[in-house]
Amino acid sequence: MANISMTVNGRTVERTVEDRTLLVQFLREDLGLTGTHVGCDTSQCGACVVHIDGKAVKSCTTLAAQADGASITTIEGLANGADLHPVQAAFKEHHGLQCGFCTPGMIMAAVDMIERHGGKLDEKTVREELEGNICRCTGYHNIVKAILAAAA
Amino acid sequence: MGVEGIGARVPRKEDKRFITGKGRYTDDMSVAGMCHAAFVRSPHAHAKIAGIDTAAAEAMPGVIAVLTGSQLKDDGIGDLICGWMIHSKDGSPMNMGANPALAVDTARHVGQAVAVVVAETKAQAREAADAVSIDWQELPAVTDAAAALAAGAPQIHENAANNLIYDWEIGDAAAADAAIAGAAHVTRLEISNNRLVPNAMEPRAALADYNAAEDHYTLWTTSQNPHVARLVLSAFYQVAPEHKLRVIAPDVGGGFGSKIYIYPEEIVCLWASKRAGVPVKWTADRTEAFLTDAHGRDHITTAQMAFDADNRMIGLKVDTIANFGAYMSLFSSAVPTYLYATLLSGQYVIPAIHCNVRAVYTNTTPVDAYRGAGRPEACFVMERLVETAARELGVSPAELRRTNFIGEFPYQTPVIMAYDAGDFDASLNAATAAADYAGFAGRKAEAEARGKLRGIGMACYIEACGIAPSAAVGSLGAGVGLWESAEVRVNPVGTIEVLTGSHSHGQGHETTFAQLVAERLGVGLDSVQIVHGDTDKVQFGMGTYGSRSGAVGMSAISKALDKVEAKARKIAAHLMEADEGDIEIADGEVRVAGTDKKLGWHEVCLAAYTAHNLPEGMEPGLKEGAFYDPANFTFPAGCYICEVEVDPGTGHTDIVQFVAADDFGRIINPMIVEGQVHGGVVQGIGQALLEGCQYDAETGQLVTATYNDYAMPRADDVPSFAVSTTETLCPNNPLGIKGCGEAGAIGSPPAVINAITDAIGNNDLTMPATPEKVWRALNAGAVAQAAE
């Protein structure tokens, strides 16, 4: 068992978990933050992307214990109060989601992408950087549009 | 059109919960005392079960129960059914092999559930499942449909000799043969339609909670049709009586057909919840999804299209073998028959058509409807034939299509369908203009200068949606009616709840259905709540598939709104002492035409509930329900044009332009419709370029069972799209809607393959057209020479 302490969406949490507990399990099952999803078992689909110390990370491939001491942001903690984060707003405005299952991971990956590239993002870069996030509904067209709009 | 009514591009009402992480999917649900199920699955494609030893598993920490197929059978749980009877051409009924939720004596595909462990945690359940010891006696397996029909192939079900499920035909064989014999030109093709895995991003899940005090079950499940699930679980599987079973399909993360069916895991979780006395949750991991979600497609086809000297189609003959996998899934039998062969007239006048279909068992995962379901297979046959014929005849593919288009409606095809409306020239013209079809030669030359092979391909699809007229499908073997129901509840304050039997798992019903109400009653979208997915709330419904929720589901809502409006008019006429015929409902008001007399919508609603002053004999309240049974299928149609560049050095295909021009009839929300096309097209491009379910022919192992091995389309595999619509209204439903959910996946695969084969100058190319296959096709001559 591991004693872990981290900040999740601005709140300090301390728990004792099995060593093998994945960060995504910890978030979903221990903290009840079910906005982060699991869509595969091979670190391919990106439905589980969260931010660890500001960087987009697949929480299905991270042990909860590895995040000890870190600051985690999940989709639930992205917006400031009732307002939507600009990337969330862009996904809504440009219909960048359908079933919504990949959406939290997409948005968390997009926020990180925009922070790294800023206004220099172009369609080719967005498509290449989304390689680790699979969506089966939208054909990516409107996701790419939403990210470019949010980056502009 | 108002700003929120029919035709308005309004953002979706449902989005906020999804973009803030507040969506509630089945795996997000918890109930007190919840335990977890893990399934013991067959590692073999075909094997006898000589014995199951559960003792070690039962002794493991946290384990509550280990249950097997014989216990399930002893408890009277019924075998899984196929709900559509198909008769072979000799009149005999299809050969349906027994399909138990947990295999009792034989496993017939890798991943088939054999036993279940219920434990306190997911990890404990999985560890104990690994400890269940099964005495397997392996049998020879077969995974290819043609091989399964061959003499000496392993026999999969005792009652299906030569693994043949049915040998079915439609159309006039003699007429088609005569047309081919007398033709000026015949185009022949051997076609395979690759097996696909639907891969909704949310894996299937079930949470079953049996309440012993009430003798009542609740099931949260990833379903496209919770009422159908309840009906089938009750009437056929005897899991629970219908009135003692509540099925809830909450937010569902994509379906594409794969969540229509009622799977063994749902049956077993319900049964195990009672047996073990605890709530039981199961969530598939992705490999379980690959192994057990119903697959799609998997056809082998020989097709001949006959032309007269004027390039007019005079006959079509098609022979198809359909791989059904190890068991007949719920609607599997209808897919390669009434959803496939009935669409083989395409957009064309073809006087003589014949199609023969043999459905075959193999030791693979069951196959059923996947986005398009039969129609993509038909479209691929037709549009590969037409494009190939144009090349053989030396005419423009667009012109050959125009020459043969159906121009007058209604049009009765020789294969059952009666097309009610369309304008195929309009969509072809829209697509060729958007794609600058005429300017292709210049782009090809420019690409050549860069060392790239540029090709262009077209596909003109038609499909049958609005599934389906109940009496018609009943006469063809369906076990259910395919109407839809709706209830419109107007509250005393004038806000409205619409209870619908349709189910949204990405389609945006909470928005489009509300737009219909806004259009009709003049209230804001925020005053309308769409309720779906819960058998305790919605009385009944047939669910969402076959692009039916607009054409059928919204038609039911429209009918219920008619009744609400009629009653509101009566009340308003009474209150304002006016003639009922003069009452207008618009902009949140109820007015007497030509006067300044009016009431607020909410005032009329309140009057309905206070019942202080209602017309003589009128019941209080304002709530109406309707069942809508469609008069015909609907026929969305369109034209897709794909342009590719192939790198001759690597065989890599780049889609450099993709144009879609669709006729979906009336469109409620263009933004949502475009999204449906984008997603469908990418699934079709996935089929054409990337996705292919591969079994090891000898062992029957599924080789492509993770996202490392099965190539899902990613953002950098596809371009942005140019989509547009033309409009002919469907004359057979109140809104003129045809449906838009599947078109993209139907029209795109032949457009892509037509483009690649055009680019490389070799028509012999199968899907998925991977770089290796394209390179080999491109170098076929050189490779053959080197081998000599």
Write out chain B residues lying below 8 Å of A103, CB-based.
18-19, 23
How far is it, in rounded angstroms, from Cα B586 to Cα B102?
Answer: 56
Q: How far is A76 from chain B (nearest CA, A)?
A: 5
DSSP B654-712: EEEEEEEEEE-BS-S-HHHHHHHHHHHHHHHHIIIII----B-TTT--BS--STTTS--
Are both B567 and B669 inside the same structural domain?
no
Predicted confidence (pLDDT) at residue B1 exceeds the cutoff of 60: no
Indicate yes or no: CB of B683 within 8 angstroms of CB of A145.
Answer: no
Residue B579 pLDDT level (bands cut at 50, 70, 90):
very high
Indicate yes or no: CB of B25 within 8 angstroms of CB of A101.
Answer: yes
For chain A, the domains span 2-77, 86-151
How far is it, in rounded angstroms, from Cα B232 to Cα B102?
Answer: 17
Residue B788 pLDDT level (bands cut at 50, 70, 90):
low
Predicted confidence (pLDDT) at residue B782 exceeds the cutoff of 90: no
Closest partner residue to B253 among A74, A101, A128, by Cβ? A101
Indicate yes or no: CB of A139 within 8 angstroms of CB of B744.
Answer: yes
Return left, alpha or beta for B416; rule: phi > 0 is left, psi -120 to 50 is alpha, else beta. Answer: left
Which CA distances in Å does B405 have to B140, B286, B313, B762? Answer: 49, 44, 10, 27
Residues 6+ apart with CB under 8 A from A11: none
Predicted confidence (pLDDT) at residue B545 exceeds the cutoff of 60: yes
Residue B783 pLDDT level (bands cut at 50, 70, 90):
low
Residue B3 pLDDT level (bands cut at 50, 70, 90):
confident
- Asked if residue B277 is part of any domain, the answer here is yes
Position B492, amino acid = P
How far is it, in rounded angstroms, from Cα B667 to Cα B431?
Answer: 19
* Residue that terminates a domain, selected from B579, B602, B628: B628
User: Which residues make beta-bridge pairs with A14?
Assistant: A5
Indicate yes or no: CB of A100 within 8 angstroms of CB of B17.
Answer: yes
> From B11, which residue of chain A is nearest by alpha-carbon distance?
A93
Are both B401 and B501 inside the same structural domain?
no
Please name which of A101, A54, A95 lies closest in space to residue A78, comparing C-alpha atoms: A54
Are both B124 and B265 inside the same structural domain?
yes
Domain with residue B460: its CATH number is: 3.30.365.10
Are both B125 and B216 inside the same structural domain?
yes
Query: Span A2-77: which CATH code?
Result: 3.10.20.30
Query: Tell me, what's the pLDDT at A81?
Result: 77
Quick one: tokens of B94?
A: 């299809």
Query: Tell me, what's the pLDDT at A80?
Result: 79
Write out chain A residues lying below 8 Å of B24, CB-based.
34
Quick one: tokens of A130?
A: 């989304």
How far is it, in rounded angstroms, from Cα B313 to Cα B693?
Answer: 34
Indicate yes or no: CB of A139 within 8 angstroms of CB of B16.
Answer: no
Interface test with chain A among B12, B18, B691, by most A beta carbons within 10 Å: B18
- Asked if residue B185 is part of any domain, the answer here is no
Q: How far is A97 from chain B (nearest CA, A)?
A: 8
DSSP B209-249: EEETTTTEEEEEE--S-HHHHHHHHHHTT-SS-GGGEEEE-
Position B524, amino acid = G
Are both B279 and B319 inside the same structural domain?
no
Residues 6+ apart with CB under 8 A from A1: A16, A17, A18, A19
Quick one: tokens of B159?
A: 């009652």
Position B108, amino acid = R
Q: How far is A5 from chain B (nearest CA, A)?
A: 23
Print the domain residue range for B545: 483-628
Q: What is the pLDDT of residues B626-649, one digit of tens each?
A: 999 999 999 999 999 999 999 999
Are both B339 and B456 inside the same structural domain?
yes
- Asked if residue B99 is part of any domain, the answer here is yes
> From A74, which residue of chain B is nearest by alpha-carbon distance?
B21
Calculate the average pLDDT of chain B: 97
Write out chain A residues lying below 8 Å of B508, CB-based.
98
Indicate yes or no: CB of B15 within 8 angstroms of CB of A92.
Answer: yes
Helix (H, G, I), strand (E, B) or coil at B358: strand
How far is it, in rounded angstroms, from Cα B199 to Cα B100?
Answer: 24
DSSP B592-637: ETTSS-EEEHHHHHHHHHH-SS--TTPPS--EEEEEE--SS-B--E
Domain with residue B46: its CATH number is: 3.90.1170.50
How far is it, in rounded angstroms, from Cα A85 to Cα A90?
Answer: 9
Within chain A, which residues score under 50 in pLDDT?
Answer: none
Predicted confidence (pLDDT) at residue B2 exceeds the cutoff of 80: no
- Asked if residue B392 is part of any domain, the answer here is yes
Measured in degrees and rounded to the nearest 5, phi and psi for residue B120 equal -65, -35
Interface test with chain A among B19, B124, B207, by most A beta carbons within 10 Å: B19
Residue pair B359/B326 in contact (Cβ under 8 Å)? The answer is no
Closest partner residue to A39 among B286, B681, B713, by Cβ? B286
What letters, b where the CB count within 10 A reaches 16 and e where it falls short, cover B190-215?
ebbbbbbbbbbbbbbbbbbbbeeeee
Are both B509 and B620 inside the same structural domain?
yes
How far is it, in rounded angstroms, from Cα B289 to Cα B208?
Answer: 19
Please name which of B12, B54, B11 lies closest in space to residue B508, comparing C-alpha atoms: B12
Are both B272 and B233 inside the same structural domain?
yes
Are both B499 and B599 inside the same structural domain?
yes
How many domains, in total, are found in chain B? 3
- Asked if residue B190 is part of any domain, the answer here is no
B560: Cα separation from own chain's centroid = 26
Quick one: tokens of B729?
A: 């209204």
Percent of chain B with pLDDT over 90: 98
Position B617, amino acid = G
- Inter-chain Cβ pairs, chain A and chain B, closer than 8 A: 176
Using alpha carbons only, what angle is made at residue B69 by residues B68 and B70, rounded to the nearest 5 degrees? 95
Are both B243 and B120 inside the same structural domain?
yes
Q: What is the pLDDT of residues B311-320, one digit of tens each?
A: 999 999 999 9
Mean pLDDT score, B257-280: 98
- Asked if residue B184 is part of any domain, the answer here is no
Closest partner residue to A141 among B22, B25, B678, by Cβ? B678
How far is it, in rounded angstroms, from Cα B68 to Cα B116?
Answer: 7
Are both B502 and B587 inside the same structural domain?
yes
Spatial strand order in the sheet of B583-586: B583-586, B589-592, B598-600
Closest partner residue to A139 among B16, B506, B679, by Cβ? B679
Write out chain B residues lying below 8 Å of A40, CB-based.
286, 706-707
Are both B375 and B401 inside the same structural domain?
yes
Write out chain A residues lying below 8 Å of B21, CB-based.
33-36, 74-76, 104
- Is the CATH number 1.10.3720.10 carried by domain A86-151? no
Match 């499940």 to its residue by tokens. B221
Predicted confidence (pLDDT) at residue B119 exceeds the cutoff of 80: yes
* Residue that terminates a domain, selected from B599, B628, B657: B628
* Residue that terminates a domain, selected from B587, B602, B628: B628
Q: How far is A137 from chain B (nearest CA, A)?
A: 5
Q: What is the pLDDT of residues B683-733, one digit of tens each?
A: 999 999 999 999 999 999 999 999 999 999 999 999 999 999 999 999 999
